[in-house]
Structure 1
Amino acid sequence: MIQVTAYRNKGNLYAFEMSGHAESVSEGYDLVCAGASAVSFGAVNAVIKLCSIEPEITQAGKEGGYLKVKLPDHLDVETHQKAAFLLEGMMVSLETIVRDYGQYIMISDK
């Protein structure tokens, strides 16, 4: 199962962590895993390009299965809002995947 944790401070998204594998079908054909990966990496790439920042990114393992992204601590308000808005869009897309494939992916907030 893919587990996504959204980290918030006073309701504002500042980081997320994704771990696990959906294992809904055999490796290489798993649309849940591919969808979650595409949504998360697309959002991170958008943050980097559109906000001109480098978030703290941690990935583990050759076979994937772990991604943690944290916005830098000392961003100006406008840049932080823009980056958080992009990540919130990612969360909406992930929630859509959960709605249809909740047995393979779950989201929680901290």
Structure 2
Amino acid sequence: MIKVTIDYDPQKRISSFTLSGHADFAKKGSDIVCAGVSAVSFGAVNSIMSLAGIEPKIEQGGNGGYLRCVIPTDISEDTQEKVQLLLNGMLISLQTIEREYGKYIKINQNI
């Protein structure tokens, strides 16, 4: 199962997210749940870097089964708004996957 943890700051903004585990929906190379989660999460990270112009702290490992992204705290309010829009779009997409494939992905929000 893929476990997604979304962490929030005191202003209720997403401050980081962590993905760990494997969906095990299908064999490697055919796992649509894993592919969907990967596309959504890496797309969000790439969008944050390109569109908001910031470099989040990124950790990866565990044979592709781990991704952690931490948003810097020293960014302008305008940039923070862009980042939050992108992260909330990612969360909505992950929730859509969870609704269809809840046996293979679980989202936990630490508000």
TM range (shorter): over 0.9
CA RMSD after TM alignment: 0.7
Counterpart in the other structure of 2:61: 60
1:26 and 2:18 are equivalent in the alignment = no
Counterpart in the other structure of 2:105: 105
1:35 CA displacement = 0.3
Q: Which moved more, 1:93-102 or 1:8-17?
A: 8-17
- TM-score normalised according to structure 2 size: 0.95
Unaligned runs of 5+ in 1: none
1:14 and 2:20 are equivalent in the alignment = no
Amino acid at match of 2:24: E
1:64 CA displacement = 0.5
Counterpart in the other structure of 1:4: 4
Amino acid at match of 1:83: V
Percent identity between matched residues is: 48
1:46 and 2:82 are equivalent in the alignment = no
- What is the SS of the residue equivalent to 1:46? helix
